[in-house]
Structure 1
C-alpha cells in the first residue's frame, strides 16, 4: 500500500503511461498516478463519422471474437498485470478477481454477441445502414445511427468494463470510458488487447479509457456537452446519478443503471428434510455473496414461508453457508461495518422479536425479524423475514428491487406477475443471480441498453 501505482490511459488505440497526476483510490486509499488529461484528445469531432460507423457489423463481431480469444489470463500480459494491480485497489480480493478475469473471455463468444445485438435491436441489419420501411403507403427509411457516449463505470465487478466495451462496439459509436478508482485496470487491459490485435482497427480507435476524480468540474463541465457527446451512461449509486443529472439538457441525455436492491423468496418446500434445507441455504448464501454483496443483484432481504421456529433453523444454516467461498464472493470478509454492527446489536436486545445468527468477524450475519429491518443490510448481512406465502412477500418488492431469486423454481410462475407489477426487473431461480442476467440478449434493468444507446434517425419520403 506504500508504492504509488501507475494507471495508464488508452486514447483511441494509443497507450499513455506517464505518471503525472496523483490520486487515491476510494475503497482502500491506495495512491496511484495517471497521465495528464488532454481534453481535446477525448472527443471525436462531429465533422467526421465515427471510425466504425460504416464497418459491416459482421466484421465487428469477428473482431470482438478475436479479442475474446486473446483474453486468456494465463497468456495475456495485460490481464496478468491488471490482476496484480487490481488487488491493491479492489475489495473483491485476489481469488474473486482471478475468477472474474478468467470468465471475461466467455462474454466475447459469437453466440453471446449475436444474441445481444438481435434481442436489443431486432436484427443485425438495423446498424448496417438505412432500412426501408413501407408505412401508411409511404416509403421511409430508418437507421440506428452510431452514438457518441461517455460511460461512467462502476467498479464493483470487472464485468462492467467488458460489458461496456462489447455494447459500445456493437453500436459502432465512439466511447469515452471514465474508470472508477476501484477498477482502474480492466478497461485498459481489454483495450490494450484490442490494440495489440490491430491498433488501426476502427473499433480500436473508437474507445478511450481514462481516469479523473468523479465530480471534477474542470473536466466534466467541458466534456459533458451535446457538442461532443449524445448521452451520458452512468453506473453507480444515487449520488453519482444525481450528480450526472445536473449536466443533462437538450441534445445530451442520461442513461442510468441506478442503484438497486435484490431479495430472495423461499417456499415451504425447503423444509422437506435437512439436506434440502441446507442446499437451499447454500443457494441463498451464494446470492448474498455476489461480489461480496456489493452488486445490485446481491440478496439483502429474504422472505421465507414458515413459522418462526422453522425459519430460525433456516437462518442457522444460512449463517453457516455464508462462511463458504463462492465463485464471485468470499466466505471470509472484512469485519461487519461499524454502523451495521450498532444496528444489529440494538436488535439483539429485543429477542425473540429479533434473532441474530452468525458473527461480526466477517463470516456473515443473519437477522430474523417479523418485518424488514429499517437499515440497509450490507457487509455480508442479510435480513430474513417469515411470511405466510410467497405472494405475501411480493408486497415488499418495489421499483428499486432488481433481482428476486425464488426457490423452488416452479413457483416463479406463481409470483412473477405480481413482482413485475411491483417494479421488479429480473426473476431467477435461487442461487442464480450471477447467471446470464442483463447480458447476452436478456434485458438489463428493465430495458435493452443498446437500443437506448443508439440514435434512431428517420429519412422520410420517396427516394
Structure 2
C-alpha cells in the first residue's frame, strides 16, 4: 500500500485513473468526511479529464453486446479473491471509511453481482423501449408520413459518487458504459479507492478497450470552486449524475443551466410500517421484529434504503414488546458485522436528554454504538443513524401518512396483504418504493430508481428529421 510518512501516522495515498492510465502522487492532502483521516492525491491535470467535444465518444460505435461481455468479465475478476486491486482498495478504504473491513469487502465484491449478463440486459430493456437506439439510428415514421431517425447518443457525464456505499461505484461504471458515455467519476472522501480499483481491473483485461478509454476517476473536495467552476460547464459535459447529501447537491445546482443538467439521486430517508397483525401471536411478532431489523441494518444503517423510522400500529404495551425484540436483533446483527462505532457526541447528547423524559419516550440499549431502539409518539427530531431505530406508535397506519413526504424513499410494509390499500396514498405523498418488510435491500432488476429510469435520463436523445416520404 502506498503511503506518505509525514508524521508518525501513515497517510493513505489515493491514485487517480485517467482514460486507462494510473496517476499516482502525494501532491494534495485531504481529510475523510466521517473519520477525519488524512489521505493524499495527485494534482488534478485539468487538460486530461475533459474529453474534447470535437471527438466522437470512444464507445459510440462499440456494440452494446460487446460492452456487456466486457462488464461481465470485469465482474468475474472483481469477485476473484486474488484480485490485487480490490485487495489493495479494501486495505486503503478500511482506514477512511466508517464501516468495518468485512462489510466493505462484502460490499465491493457483492456489488459485482450487478455485472451479470442477464441483469445488464434486463436493465437496458427496462430503460429503453427500443434498445437498438443505443447502437444505431432507429428509423421512425409518424402518421403524416414524416420520417426521422432517433438515437440514444453517448453523453458526457460527471458522476458525483456517494461515500456511504462502495458498491455504487460498480453500478455507476456499468451504467456509464452501457449508455456509451464519456465518464468522469468524482470519488468521495470516504471512498476515494473503489472506482479506481474497478477501472484498474478493467485495464488489466484490455488496456485499449473503449470502455477503459471512456473512464476517468479523480477526487476533489466537494464545493471547491477552483475545480468545479472549470469542470461543471456545458462545453465539457452534458449532465451531472449526483449522489449524496444536501450539501453535495447544492454544490452542483449553482452550475446548472442550458445544456448542463442534473440527474439527482437525492438524499432520502426510508421507513417501515408495521400493522396490528404483527401482534396476533409471539411468532408473528418475532417475524415482524426480525424483518424490521433486517431493513434497519442494511449496510449497518448507512444506506438510503435502511429504515430509520418504524411506524407501529399498536398500544404502548404492544409497541414496547416489539421494541424489545427489535433491539435484541439489531444488537445481534451489529455484533456479527463487527461494527463497534460509537455514536457521535451531538447524537449521544440528544438521546441522553430524551432518556430523562420517561413519560414520552422508551429507550432500549445504550449510546455506545451497539444498537438502540427509541419508542415515541412522534418521530424524533434527529436523524437516526449508526444502528438506531425510532419506533413511532400509532393508533392506525393511516396516522403514519402525515409523516410521508418526497424525501421518503422506501417503505417496508407488514402485513404484505395491506400494501395495495396504501400504495396509491404512499405514491401521492412522494414515496418512490414500497416493499415487503425485510426486503428494502433487494429490488426487482431494472425497476425505476428514485422515481425514474436513470439510463433513459443519462443519454443525449438525438433526432435526425428526414422529411416526408415522397408520394
Following TM superposition, the consecutive aligned residue runs of length 4 or more in structure 1 with deviations greater than 3 angstroms are 329-333
Cα distance change, pair 106–56 in 1 and its aligned pair in 2 (3 A):
same
1:323, 1:331 within 8 Å by CA — same for their partners in 2? Answer: no
Q: Which residue of 2 aligns with 1:226?
A: 234
Question: Aligned to 2:122, which of 115, 120, 123?
Answer: 115
Gap regions ≥5 residues in structure 2: 1-7
Separation in structure 1 between the aligned mates of residue 405 and residue 340 of structure 2, nearest angstrom: 29
1:155-194: CA deviations, max 9, x gaps?
1011111111010001101000011010111101110011
Instruction: Work out which of the residue numbers 189, 193, 200 in structure 2 matches 1:192.
Output: 200
| 1:235 partnered with 2:243 | yes
Q: Is the contact made by 1:324 and 1:331 (CA closer than 8 Å) also made in structure 2?
A: no
How far residue 332 of structure 1 moved from its aligned partner, in angstroms, is: 4.3
SS in 2 for 1:325: helix
Change (3 A) 1:9 1:332: closer
User: Deviation at 1:281?
Assistant: 1.2
Q: Secondary structure at the match of 1:18?
A: coil
Offset, 1:215:
1.6
Q: Tell me, in whole angstroms, the C-alpha distance in 1 between the residues paired with 2:348 and 2:40.
A: 35
Q: Which runs of 5+ in 1 are unaligned?
A: none
Query: What is the root-mean-square deviation of aligned Cα atoms in Å?
Result: 1.7
DSSP-derived class of the 2:210 partner: coil
Find out whether 1:442 has 2:450 as its counterpart.
no
Alignment correspondent of 1:314:
322
Structure 1 CA distance for aligned equivalents of residues 100 and 186 of structure 2: 22
Q: What is the distance in 2 between the residues matched to 1:233 and 1:151?
A: 5
8 Å Cα contact 2:274-2:310 kept in structure 1: yes
Cα deviation for residue 278 of structure 1 reads: 2.1
Alignment map for 1:213-292 (pairs within 5 Å): 213-292=221-300
| Distance change (3 Å), C-alpha of 1:70 and 1:123 | farther
Deviations 1:300-357 (A, max 9, x none): 1101111110011101111111112279x94743222222222222222322222111
Q: Matched residue pairs, number? A: 460
Distance in 1, Cα, partners of 2:380 & 2:27: 47
Q: How does 1:97-246 map to 2 (within 5 A)?
A: 97-137=104-144, 138-246=146-254
Normalising by the residue count of structure 2, what TM-score does the alignment of the two structures yield?
0.94
2:38 alignment partner, one of 1, 13, 31: 31
Matching residue within 41, 53, 58 for 2:48: 41
Residue matched to 2:301: 293
**What is the aligned partner in structure 1 of residue 4 from structure 2?**
none
Give the structure-1-normalised TM-score: 0.96
Query: Distance in 1 between the 2:384 and 2:185 partners?
Result: 31
Q: Counterpart of 1:12?
A: 19
Residue aligned with 1:15, SS? strand
SS of the counterpart of 1:192? helix
- Residue 73 of structure 1: how far off its partner (Å): 4.2
The corresponding residue for 1:412 is 419
Checking the alignment, whether the CA contact within 8 Å between 2:334 and 2:371 is kept in structure 1 is: no
